[in-house]
Amino acid sequence: MLTVKQIEAAHYGTSPVRLSDGNGPLYPVGHLKRVDTALYSLRRQLAEECGYTFHTFDTAFIAYHSKTRSGADIGGALPELFKG
């Protein structure tokens, strides 16, 4: 997984990391345009890289997700929120 710094550097042309192989994006940068998705991506990276836990964020994110995406299966889309 690319880090946020690598994505930004590739986007602004300051890194040898490529965001596209000519057939489409190697990493779906477009999904980070939503603030909630970008925050969740940062939360996931911090959890994976540093081992942090975000119990309050997870609870608030589940509540926000259920209000903004009514009827969506959050457990299927974001199972790591329910690992405990």
Per-residue pLDDT reduced to its tens digit, 6-39: 666 655 555 444 555 566 555 555 655 677 888 8
**Are 4 and 43 part of one and the same domain?**
no
**Which range of residues forms the domain containing residue 11?**
1-29
Domain count, the chain: 2
pTM over 0.95: no
Asked if 83 and 47 sit in the same domain, the reply is yes
Q: Helix, strand or coil for residue 15? A: coil
Q: In this predicted model, which residue has the larger pLDDT, 45 or 84?
A: 45
Q: Are residues 60 and 46 in the same domain?
A: yes
- Euclidean distance between CA atoms 45 and 39, whole angstroms: 10
Sign of the alpha-carbon torsion through 83, 64, 57, 37 = positive
